Amino acid sequence: MVSLGARFVEFALPLLGIKRFFSQPHKMDQRIAKMRRQASLRPGRKWREKFDIAEETERSYPLVTVTPKGGARPEAPHLLYFHGGGYVMDIASLHWDAIGTLCNELGAAASVPIYPLAPEVTAETTLPAMRALYDELADRYGAQNIAIAGDSAGGGMALALVQDLIRGGKPLPGSMVLFSPWVDATASGEGMAAIAPRDKILAPVGLEACGQRYAGTLPLNDPRLSPLFGDLTGLPPTAIFVGTSDILLVDARRLKDRLEQIGEPPALYREADRMQHVWMLLPIPEGRAALSETAQFLRAQHGANKK
């Protein structure tokens, strides 16, 4: 049964105006320009009391590292988290809360790139930059000790990065977690239109518009921004979470189906009834349960539950 909190959020989400952003692509550039004038958010005081927060600025983008006070547990994975936002929106407080919750449950540290946004920077630049960051972290922590995670566009970026590692024959992370992943920038999956009236956040026309801005000179079906169309063999153990009131349910199901067709099904697949886009990040009982299950999945993959 859907919680009272989830019902309230479903009612309140339209008031935030996110659906308007994705439903009116002709106004998107104007609204992006307005967003750029706002300061990029960082973890709030609640998390600063629990973690040491460091920020590196020598790259072409800020890198925020979240580390438990006293250090991460030796058995915990190192989380590399890519935030969502259609590749055009900055990181939000909900992202920091989810990252903080996961790190707190696992005793883990996290690296969070505040990656350059589209349309100013496109996939041809952003993905190699994230690959270089992964290589740094793999050298520092060991590839098998890294858990890559992302929500929405960040989920697509996580999958595209892992595919790039596989193509290059590089060591893979020990696990991957995809929250409401956007893995088809064409936004052409059959069934989206039927779900769209129930989705209080996304609209297909807005996703396609965001995809065009992130694509640059690439076609929208290029695996670097639409990893659903790339080679899916050899992925690390992968968890996928999605809701049935999210138009990206279509992407998640196609991804699951393709993985099953090649004999490599997701290690964990959760499809939650009536849940909205990125419900795992929302302050509702279902969201808290999803993060707890994510932590349990990561413990199992990385051995953090072993004495």
As annotated, the active-site residues are 152, 246, 277
The size of the chain, in residues, is 307
Cα separation, 17 vs 200, whole angstroms? 9
Given a contact cutoff of 8 angstroms between Cβ atoms, the answer to whether 224 and 127 are in contact is yes
Given a contact cutoff of 8 angstroms between Cβ atoms, the answer to whether 119 and 32 are in contact is yes
Report the DSSP pairing between strands 175-179 and 110-113: unpaired
Q: What is the DSSP string of 127-157?
A: HHHHHHHHHHHHHHH-GGGEEEEEETHHHHH
Backbone φ and ψ for 263, nearest 5 degrees, come out as 80, 20
Q: Which of 173, 180, 159, 87 is nearest to 126 (CA)?
A: 87
Which residues lie below 8 Å from residue 267, measured CB to CB, with a gap of 6+? 175, 237, 238, 239, 297, 301
Cα separation, 277 vs 247, whole angstroms? 8
Q: Which residues pair with 63 in a beta bridge?
A: 56, 113
